[in-house]
Chain A
Amino acid sequence: KNEVEQSPQNLTAQEGEFITINCSYSVGISALHWLQQHPGGGIVSLFMLSSGKKKHGRLIATINIQEKHSSLHITASHPRDSAVYICAVIRGPGNQFYFGTGTSLTVIP
């Protein structure tokens, strides 16, 4: 069982819809990343957070440390948001990264 679980695995939305992607993890962490991987493969970091909430444009990330849960929200979704979104947690004495399997999002015009 992966210690970082994401849901849903696949998501299709109409342009303009509000989107939520969830990430749950099983052990204590020092921080959590949300990553975006576009077709073609490149991975970029969207957010790093250890508490509360962060916002960048139409993207909002929240984390609840007590519940071991984070969400990534996309408001007013657009086809260019189509990508795989990956949750990664940082934990352990070496601050290692552990990755979820990703959520594949397709936004239809």
Chain B
Amino acid sequence: DADVTQTPRNRITKTGKRIMLECSQTKGHDRMYWYRQDPGLGLRLIYYSFDVKDINKGEISDGYSVSRQAQAKFSLSLESAIPNQTALYFCATSERGRGGANVLTFGAGSRLTVL
């Protein structure tokens, strides 16, 4: 089984629908992240969480919300999907490595298409 599991892997939906992307991890990492990737752009941070009670907005949080249900689970919701939210979404986890640097592990990605 993958260390970081994302579901669904692919989803096609219509404008206005509510969508939830789920992420679970077996790494035991405290830190979890949601990123989106668009062609020609780097990975951009949507939300991040350093523990269950800590949720922070990233650079592109508008139109998204998250829930950290447990240390191992971090879900991303689009309350009312719009076409420009069509993208590849990644969940990632990290822990602090030796020397203070973080080790980063990605899920396989969730491809979302909003029609």
Interface residues of A (CB under 8 A from B): 2, 4, 30-31, 33, 35, 41-45, 48, 50, 86, 88, 90, 94-102
Contact = CB atoms under 8 A, between A and B. Distances in A.
Contacts, number: 64
Majority SS of interface residues in chain B? Answer: strand
Contacts of B42: 2, 4, 86, 98-102
A41 B108 contact: yes
A31 B102 contact: yes
Interface in B39-68: 40-45, 48, 50, 56
Given A31-B101, A48-B97, A48-B101, A86 B43 contact: yes
Interface string B62-94: 000000000000000000000000001010001
Interface residues of B, number: 26
B73 to A, nearest CB: 20
B115 to A, nearest CB: 20
Contact of B109 (A31, A35, A42, A86): A42
B104 A97 contact: yes
B41 to A, nearest CB: 6
A45 B111 contact: no
17 contacts: A2-B42, A4-B42, A31-B100, A35-B104, A41-B109, A43-B109, A44-B106, A45-B103, A45-B104, A45-B106, A97-B43, A97-B94, A99-B42, A99-B44, A101-B40, A101-B41, A101-B42
Nearest to A100: B42
Contact of A48 (B44, B50, B103, B111): B103
B45 A95 contact: no
A102 B108 CA distance: 17
A61 B57 CA distance: 32
Given A41-B88, A41-B108, A90 B45 contact: no
A43 B101 contact: no
B45 A97 contact: yes
